[in-house]
A and B are shown apart, each in its own frame.
Chain A
């Protein structure tokens, strides 16, 4: 069972979770999604919350729906690549802003990242 933070809107958290799953190919392009009610049971939340998350994802073009088929992940690979890029950009900005607030210079940010990737914590 997935647990969500009760301090943030749960529909947003579901949206972010599904976006991550689309960007990392847990969901493939064109893949059919489970019904709202089934997803609600997976996430242990209200079906209307899932409905809202999916409607928003639909509005953003990441999810499509057809009456006879149901809801599925967009087949637009460019949109998925863009989504992946957006998630990377967001995470990068958050990280850099936090370090800038800690008065780190650009050079020391780069050094810190390189060292961390090498497995060195100092």
Chain B
């Protein structure tokens, strides 16, 4: 579903991604794990067409990154991208215009489940509410691919559980879900496999239960071992 071939990206001569090769299959929930600055967000931006000057090839369901590939991917960026004055009603209008696979009914029911007020604009929301707001939008698309950049980064532990539940309950069956995070312990139970990114390079791409079986460790413990300075 996502093919990444020999992708290298540099910022002013400094490498951010070095010869990344990944083949991500449909029907899987994959964790993209790495410390800050390891290249997670750079890779995600490339997949979503926000960075174009890189070497190598990216194919999304057979398409290069273009308007077609963007229509297949439901993307949660790591920061707010909607205008501050937008409330749910405004966001629904925007998403209906942009995406044919947007399910307005689902969005409204998610808003209720997440205890959000559809009239409240983003600028009056707390950080946690904003994250839930954007997640509700992203999960209301019946997409082939969901790419979630740090979906639980800014919320307290109680809200994290609610967000994970929302992801599990709402991703379209047979789709691919790619989630970047540095909060591994809270989320590792929902992964099929994980990618470890270290200084721009893929150092591991493995099934999570295989890691647990062969290492006798949780993914978080193994991550700490691999990334110990």
Contacts and interface: CB of A to CB of B under 8 A. Distances in A.
Contacts of A6: 185, 188-189, 212, 218-221
B192 A49 contact: yes
A11 B210 CA distance: 10
Contact of A44 (B27, B190, B220, B221): B190
Contacts of B185: 6
Interface in A1-33: 1, 4-12
A37 B27 contact: no
Contacts of A109: none
A40 B168 contact: yes
Nearest to B221: A7
A11 B169 contact: no
B28 interface: yes
B168 A10 contact: no
6 contacts: A4-B189, A6-B221, A7-B217, A7-B221, A40-B168, A45-B189
Interface in B92-137: none
A41 interface: yes
Contacts, number: 56
Contacts of A7: 212, 216-218, 221
Size bracket, chain B contacts: 20 to 34
Contact of B213 (A1, A9, A41): A9
A10 B164 contact: no
A46 interface: yes
Interface string A31-64: 0000001001100111111001000000000000
B157 interface: no
A17 B216 CA distance: 19
B29 interface: yes
A65 B197 CA distance: 40
Given A41-B168, A44-B164, A46-B29, A8 B190 contact: no
Contacts of A37: 173
B27 A46 contact: no
Interface in B165-213: 165, 168-169, 173, 185, 188-192, 208-210, 212-213
B52 to A, nearest CB: 33
B189 A44 contact: yes
A11 B168 contact: no
A46 B190 contact: yes
A46 B189 contact: yes
